[in-house]
Chains A and B, each alone.
Chain A
Amino acid sequence: MARRVTSRRVWVSTGAAWFFGFVIFLPILWMVLTSFKTELEAFAMPPTFLFFHWTTENYATVQGRSDYVHHALNSIIVAGASTLLALLIAIPAAWSMAFAPSKRTKDILLWMLSTKMMPSVGVLVPIYLIYRDFGLLDTRGGLVAILCLGNLPIVIWMLFTYFKEIPKDILEAARMDGATIGRELIYVLTPMAIPGLASTLLLNFILAWNEAFWTLNLSTLDAAPLTVFIASYSSPEGLFWAKLSAASTLAIAPIIILGWFTQRQLVRGLTFGAVK
């Protein structure tokens, strides 16, 4: 029997969807609201929701105390460069594994994924020592390298699944039609792979932007991205909830805006291959 969609059901499920959506969004909303409160109101009990004295003084303090633009620039450079570098390495790797697999391709893929199963903290000391001895601590180059390596397995996996979906027949048809490898790449493969490349790029950029473990441990000031900027408000002189919230809001704003405008690509990327 076909499932009946009654209007009551639609109302109930729509209501439930909004409810859960709101629950998930609540922490972020609360953070944004808190960033506009005074420090006193920020931890008032019972908490105030919308009716409090709105102020932007936290933003002014945050910008005055530490240089937001400097950290934001670091985030953009580190996340952007590590993403591009990862794609540069991952495209040929995924390519050859998808179109010219060998007996060991599956093993290599699994091995790459297995590196993500180990907790990062397990290699913190060796990596830290290597970075210290090579003078990579608190450098953008150092962060780019570690973030690129950390995300590489996921990038290769994503691209591999995309490339795998491109039917071999189409490439052979292009060869029969007289396309050289270069033209096959430009006219046939790239246009077909662009949606996959775009969502991989976006997801990797977001992962790199939010990465906190390595950025916190391997950078202090010069190369420190926004994660370090947020963390600097949570420690020594006690908790300043309002300022911490202001810093966090500033830090996540760019990525939320980016995510908002690219949500179609992102959803497509994450569900790709689930439904033919």
Chain B
Amino acid sequence: MGQITLQRVRKSFGPVNIIKDANLDIENGSFVVFVGPSGCGKTTLLRLIAGLEDVSGGQILIDGRNVVDVPPAKRGLSMVFQSYALYPHMSVRGNIAFGLKMAGLPRPEIERKVEAAAATLNLTPYLDRKPRELSGGQRQRVAIGRAIVREPKAFLFDEPLSNLDAALRVQMRLEVTKLQKQLGTTAVYVTHDQVEAMTMADKIVVLNAGRIEQFGSPIELYERPANLFVAGFIGSPKMNFVPGDAAGEPGAATLGVRPEHLKIGKEGEGWPGTVSVAEHLGSDTFLYVEAGKLGMLTARCIGEFSLKAGDHVWLSPDPARLHRFEKDGSVIRR
């Protein structure tokens, strides 16, 4: 079991409030990603759950038990660090076995579990190597091995893939997701990369300046962002925001429309504009359109779209996919 509940969790360093009143319910077995811009408090929130930092207020429940006064090791969680944090003087075997050794398990059992974890992660040939003799991806796998071998209630990942190169990151992303589904263990994963968040998560927590802006499935966040921040943060390229009155919607302070929901035509309908830059990516074309009072708009269309800078175009938003926001940034639900 690994149900984690945060109730009014606060954290401040001196006068600075890093986490303001976080409430969250992480279901057993789910993969939850904390995402947000740097400095938003996502790593701090993870470290509070881990017990590496003490809360300034509120409760953290793991399987219904308040753990704010429980030391990290007794919380039954394991953590994968951004820097891998392998013990440099121990072999791969020693690294994976360390937690079990500390728990005082009998040697044959440790041996068996380490072998099993190594086999799962394709690390068997490297068991007797030192971390410095491994590549980045292998080191990361050792760090994951160290986490899974203890059969924790939940895994905590702190930006584990950010030190890897792009190709390896995609591969490890898949492996981590697959492994988590296979083990069925709750996972909390911190990243600043929204692609990682969208692809890996069952549920995403969007954090901004120490506040939880929205908690929901990736599709929910994409289709029904709760406010301007989430709308702008999720999705690439970014959602277009235009003033409501300029767009003919006086009821809303701001109107949001995603680049992929703007239909582009060479004549007649919607908002007129001039293409200022066209980026051809092959599969897609991103058009940056200067649209007078509405400002610069981004439109995404299929790759073969033959428009170039200086062309006059008409943009029409898909009315079903318009997002309307109040002055304070919250969404207007219909």
- Residue positions of A touching B, CB distance < 8 A: 167, 169-170, 172-179, 183, 187-188, 191-192
Q: How far does the Cβ of B133 sit from chain A's closest Cβ, in whole Å?
A: 17
- Residue positions of B touching A, CB distance < 8 A: 50, 52, 71-74, 77-79, 81-83, 85-89, 98-99, 102-103, 146, 150
B103, A172: Cβ atoms under 8 Å?
no
B98, A169: Cβ atoms under 8 Å?
no
B85, A169: Cβ atoms under 8 Å?
yes
Contact of A176 among B78, B87, B103 (CB under 8 A): B78
How far is B63's CA from A240's CA once the two chains are assembled, in angstroms? 85
Contact of A179 among B74, B78, B86, B102 (CB under 8 A): B102
Closest chain A residue, CB of each to CB of B156: A176
Q: How far does the Cβ of B307 sit from chain A's closest Cβ, in whole Å?
A: 46
Given contacts A172-B52, A183-B102, A187-B98, contact A177 B73 (CB under 8 A): yes
Q: How far does the Cβ of A191 sit from chain B's closest Cβ, in whole Å?
A: 4
Set of chain B residues within 8 Å of A173, measured between Cβ atoms:
79, 81, 85-87, 146
Set of chain A residues within 8 Å of B99, measured between Cβ atoms:
176-178
How far is B150's CA from A81's CA once the two chains are assembled, in angstroms? 45
How far is B52's CA from A130's CA once the two chains are assembled, in angstroms? 49
Chain B CB count within 10 A is highest, among A175, A178, A188, for A178
Contact of A175 among B52, B82, B89, B150 (CB under 8 A): B52
How far is B88's CA from A28's CA once the two chains are assembled, in angstroms? 41
B87, A188: Cβ atoms under 8 Å?
yes
A177, B102: Cβ atoms under 8 Å?
yes
Given contacts A167-B83, A172-B52, contact A178 B89 (CB under 8 A): no
Set of chain A residues within 8 Å of B102, measured between Cβ atoms:
177-179, 183
Ordered by A's residue number, 26 sampled pairs between the chains whose C-beta atoms are within 8 Å are A169-B81, A169-B85, A170-B85, A170-B87, A172-B72, A172-B85, A173-B85, A173-B86, A173-B87, A174-B87, A175-B52, A175-B73, A176-B52, A176-B73, A176-B79, A177-B78, A177-B98, A178-B74, A178-B99, A178-B102, A179-B102, A183-B102, A187-B98, A191-B89, A192-B88, A192-B89
Q: How far does the Cβ of B147 sit from chain A's closest Cβ, in whole Å?
A: 9
Set of chain A residues within 8 Å of B86, measured between Cβ atoms:
170, 173
Q: How far does the Cβ of B4 sit from chain A's closest Cβ, in whole Å?
A: 15
Set of chain B residues within 8 Å of A172, measured between Cβ atoms:
52, 72, 79, 81, 85
How far is B154's CA from A192's CA once the two chains are assembled, in angstroms? 29
Set of chain B residues within 8 Å of A176, measured between Cβ atoms:
50, 52, 72-73, 77-79, 99
How far is B98's CA from A191's CA once the two chains are assembled, in angstroms? 14
B146, A177: Cβ atoms under 8 Å?
yes
Closest chain A residue, CB of each to CB of B78: A176
Chain A CB count within 10 A is highest, among B73, B74, B78, for B73
Closest chain B residue, CB of each to CB of A191: B89
Set of chain B residues within 8 Å of A170, measured between Cβ atoms:
85-88
How far is B50's CA from A182's CA once the two chains are assembled, in angstroms? 20
Set of chain B residues within 8 Å of A183, measured between Cβ atoms:
102
Given contacts A167-B85, A179-B73, A192-B88, contact A174 B78 (CB under 8 A): no
Q: How far does the Cβ of A162 sit from chain B's closest Cβ, in whole Å?
A: 14
How far is B52's CA from A188's CA once the two chains are assembled, in angstroms? 17
Closest chain B residue, CB of each to CB of A169: B85
Set of chain A residues within 8 Å of B150, measured between Cβ atoms:
177
Q: How far does the Cβ of B78 sit from chain A's closest Cβ, in whole Å?
A: 6
How far is B78's CA from A178's CA once the two chains are assembled, in angstroms? 10
Q: How far does the Cβ of B75 sit from chain A's closest Cβ, in whole Å?
A: 9
Given contacts A172-B52, A191-B89, contact A178 B103 (CB under 8 A): yes
Closest chain A residue, CB of each to CB of B74: A178
